[in-house]
Amino acid sequence: MQLSPEQIALRRLEARITKRFHKACAEYGLLRDGDHVLIGVSGGKDSLALVELLGRRARVHVPSFRVSAVHVRVRERDYQTDTSYLEQFCAEAGVKLYIVDTEIGTVDGQKRAADNPCFLCSWYRRKAMFDLAQQLGCNKIALGHHRDDLEETFLMNLIFQGAVATIPPRLQMDKMPLEMIRPLCLVSESDLAEYAALRGYRKQEKLCPFEHVSSRAKVKGLLRQLESLNPEVRDTLWAAMENVKADYLPHKG
């Protein structure tokens, strides 16, 4: 049976993404025998692709590891994901999904200030993930950050913090026996977006209201301007990050 152009494109794209996923896992030592990995699932394209890739990889016996997933809902944030779709998606990938509700805490009975809503939302979502990971006996949490996220964070830290740093592919937490891993760190966002479209991923019902006004959104715009000067600027940024040999990029091998 002859494949359609869309099927051919999907196969090639899936092969490229899978190759880079495996390369990241090998180069940064992200998966080990006996691991129990908890995937943070927002409902976006990146976390859905990560569920597929880790669910498929867990069915291979070397290394032998288990995978679970969690979707955290923050009551104060006006974005929505179809949880029934997430449950079905994870079930088809052979991954158990847990749905957890949380809310932004209070100080002396008053809601915390909304000066930095992205930080607060992220902090409480992470706390909920950490709590569930420890309840389930997970030793790793996998997040769907891709290569573009690492490059954008590198620029954000440089511009706003005066620091040469980015999101690490692997990070051991100081105060708990948990390691954060990012198996998509070598995969481009454009590949993930195309893959999601070809696979027919269902989009979130309502996006985060701060998605297009955050510092990260502004840096995305800056990168698009830089690409008009140098179409290969993202590769150049990645090369600069590797040349620094900072702690956020562990030694390969």
In angstroms, the CA 32 to CA 252 distance is: 15
In angstroms, the CA 219 to CA 152 distance is: 6
Q: Domain 5-148+165-210's class?
A: alpha beta
Output the pLDDT for position 109: 45
Residues paired with residue 69 on neighbouring β-strands, in sequence order: 39, 97
Length in residues, the chain: 253
In angstroms, the CA 202 to CA 27 distance is: 32
Instruction: Residue 5: count other Cβ atoms within 10 Å of its Cβ.
Output: 7
Output the pLDDT for position 87: 96
What pLDDT tens digit does each residue of the chain (253 aa) get?
Answer: 788 888 999 999 999 999 999 999 999 999 999 999 999 999 999 999 999 999 999 998 789 999 999 999 887 666 667 889 999 999 999 999 999 988 776 544 445 545 555 667 777 888 999 999 999 999 999 999 999 999 999 999 989 888 888 889 999 998 888 999 999 999 999 999 999 999 999 887 555 555 555 788 889 999 999 999 999 999 999 888 887 755 445 544 4
Output the pLDDT for position 171: 94
Output the pLDDT for position 245: 59
In angstroms, the CA 222 to CA 11 distance is: 32
Residue 212 token pair: 């297009």
Output the pLDDT for position 82: 85
Domains of the chain, by residue range, sit at 5-148+165-210
Output the pLDDT for position 164: 84
- Residue 15: name the closest of 143, 140, 198 by CA: 198
- Residue 153: name the closest of 248, 32, 23, 33 by CA: 248
Mention every residue, 6+ apart, whose C-beta is less than 8 A from residue 146.
Answer: 46, 184, 185, 187, 188, 189, 192
In angstroms, the CA 251 to CA 214 distance is: 32
178 touches 49 (CB < 8 A): no
Output the pLDDT for position 206: 57
